[in-house]
Amino acid sequence: MIRIANYINGQYQAPLTNSYIPNYNPSDGAIYGDIPDSDASDVQAAYKAAETAFPEWSTSTLEERSKIMLRIAELLDENLQKFAEAESKDNGKPVSLAKVVDIPRAASNFRFFGNAITQFSSESHESTGLNAVNFTLRQPIGVVGCISPWNLPLYLFTWKIAPAIAAGNCVVAKPSEVTPMTAYLLGEICTQAGLPEGVLNIVHGLGGSTGQAITEHPKIKAISFTGGTATGAHIARIAAPMFKKLSLELGGKNPNIIFADCDYDDMLQTTVRSSFANQGQICLCGSRIFVEASIYEKFKTDFVEKVNALKVGHPSKEDTNIGALVSKSHLEKVKSYIDIAKSENGKVLAGGEEVTVDGFENGYYLAPTVIEVSSDECRVNQEEIFGPVVTIMPFTSEDEVLQMANKVKYGLSATLWTNNLKRTMRMSQSLQAGIVWVNTWMMRDLRTPFGGVKESGVGREGGFEALRFFTEPKNVCIKY
C-alpha cells in the first residue's frame, strides 16, 4: 500500500483532515494505496505557502526560473521509467504509451516554458505628436489554482503549472483524485531541482472538496482547469462573481472527416490511433468518423479489420495496444453508451464487449468499439463518451459533412483528410473548432494556441497564450 502526501511549502505533509481515500489500480481493480482527502484547511495551508513565496519568486530573474525549470525537465527525463510505470498503474494506460507520450511531454512542458519565458515580450506604443510612450508591463498574477483531470495526468498537470511558475506566479495545484501518483512524485523532483519552497504546492483530494476550496478561495486569483464540461460550468459559476481569470479546457466530440482523395494508408493508420489512443480517453480523439460515400464500404472493412487486430491487455505488457479504462465507474459509463447506441439502431461492427485479461479478471477492460450509425443526431454521436468507442457514417457532399461536423455542442478539434487545397482552406475556415488537423492528428507544436470553442472551453493554453493568461497586462503611459 502506498500512502501519498500533500506537497506544501516544499515538504511532504499529511492532510490536516487526517482522512484518506482509496486509490485503485485499473488493471486489476485492486486498491493499491490511498491519497489525502484534503479540505479547505489544507488548501489554506498551501495558499499561505504560495503567498509567502510569491514576492521572491515573482522578482527572481528569468535566468534563475528558466534554469530550475530546465533542471526539472532533465530530472523527469532521468526518471522516465519510474514515472511511466507510476502513470500506467494509476491510469491503466500502457506503460509503452506513458514512456513515449505522457512523461516526455511533461518534461517538454517544463523545458518549453522554461525557454519561452526568456523570449516573452510585451508591446510598446510611441504616441507620436503627444510626446508620450506607452508600454505594457506583464506582471504575474499572484497565487493561481491549477486543476487537472485523469486522462493524461502528469502531461496536463504540468501543462498548467509550467507556464504559471515560468511567469512568476506561485501555484496551488490539484491533480485528479483518480490519478494522483505522478503529481505526488513531481514534488520530490521540484525539490531536487531547487524550486524554492512554496512556489508549487500540490494538494490531493476530491473535486467537490479540495477542488471546490481552490476555486472558492478569495485570494486565488486565476483558475486554469481541464476536465468535464459540467465541472467547468460549475467552476465558472463560482469564479465569475469573484472576477477570477479563468481558462477552461473541457470536453470534445471531435469529427474525423475523410474524403476519398486522401492518402488512404496514412489516413487509416492514423484514424486507428485518433480513435483509440489512450483507450479513447483523450479530449482530442476523433470519435465521430465521417467517410465520403465512394470509399465508405472499403474503409469500413479495412478499419474494422485493423481495430479487431488491436490487442487489449495488461498495461505493463509491451504488445498491449489498449490498456484498462481509468475506473470502474467510467467503464460503466462507457458501456452504457454502447447500450444506448443499440437502442438507437446503431450497429456494433467491432468490440462492444468487456474483455477479460488472464490473471487480471477484475480490471476495467473494454474492446475497441466501432458503431455504425444511421443519423448524426443520435446520442452516441452527440455526447462525449470519452472511451474506446467511435461512430462511423457516410457522407456525400462537403456541405453535408460540414453541417454534421458542426452540429454538436462541442468545438475542440477536427481532423480532415484530403489532398484538395481549396477544400482544406474552406473547411478549416468553417469548422467550429479550436484546432483543425489536416492529414494528421495530435501533432503538437507547443507554441500554438490550444483550446476549444462552444462548450469545449474558454481561453487558450500553449505558447505565449498561456504566458498571457498567467500574467496581468498593465499599461504604463509616460509623458515626456
- Asked if 384 is an active-site residue, the reply is no
Residue 411 contacts ligand TXE per CB under 6 A: no
Residue 323 as a binder of ligand TXE (CB under 6 A): the answer is no
Site string for ligand TXE, 11-50 (x = CB under 6 A): ----------------------------------------
Query: Around Cβ 392, how many Cβ atoms within 10 Å?
Result: 23
Least CB distance to ligand TXE at residue 222 (A): 14
Provide, rounded to whole angstroms, the least separation between the CB of residue 411 and ligand TXE: 12
Alpha carbons 457 and 83: distance in angstroms, whole number: 29
Give the binding-site size for ligand TXE (rule: CB under 6 A): 25
Near ligand TXE in 222-251, by CB under 6 A: 226-228, 231, 234-235, 249-251
Decide if 249 is catalytic: yes
Cα dihedral sign, 417-422-427-429: positive
Q: Does 194 bind ligand TXE (CB under 6 A)?
A: no
Give Cα 288 to chain centroid, integer Å.
Answer: 19
| Chain residue whose CB lies nearest ligand TXE | 207
312 class by beta-carbon count within 10 Å (0-12 exposed, 13-18 middle, 19+ buried): buried
Residue 215 interacts with ligand TXE (CB under 6 A): yes or no: yes
Residue found under cell 456494433: 348
386 lies in the site for ligand TXE, by CB under 6 A: yes
Whole-angstrom Cα distance, residue 379 to residue 65? Answer: 48
28, 177, 292, 372: which one contacts ligand TXE (CB under 6 A)? 177
Residues 76, 61, 6: CA angle, nearest 5 degrees: 45
Among 89, 93, 138, 174, binds ligand TXE (CB under 6 A): 174
DSSP string, 114-162: HHHHHH----EEEETTTTEEEEEEEEE-SEEEEE--SSSHHHHHHHHHH
The binder of ligand TXE chosen from 92, 94, 114, 211 (CB under 6 A):
211
State the Cα–Cα distance between residues 205 and 15, nearest whole angstrom. Answer: 9
Residue span binding ligand TXE (CB under 6 A) among the ranges 94-102, 129-137, 149-157, 189-197 = 149-157
According to the binding rule CB under 6 A, does residue 146 interact with ligand TXE?
no
Backbone phi, psi, residue 143, to 5°: -100, 125
Catalytic residue among 283, 285, 455, 461: 283
For residue 182, give the C-alpha cell.
Answer: 505522478
Rounded least distance, CB 179 to ligand TXE, Å: 9
d(CA 37, CA 211): 11
Q: Is 288 in the site for ligand TXE (CB under 6 A)?
A: no
Of 417, 152, 406, nearest to 271 by C-alpha is 417
Binding site for ligand TXE (CB under 6 A): 147-151, 174, 176-177, 207-208, 211-212, 215, 226-228, 231, 234-235, 249-251, 283, 384, 386
Active-site residue set: 249, 283
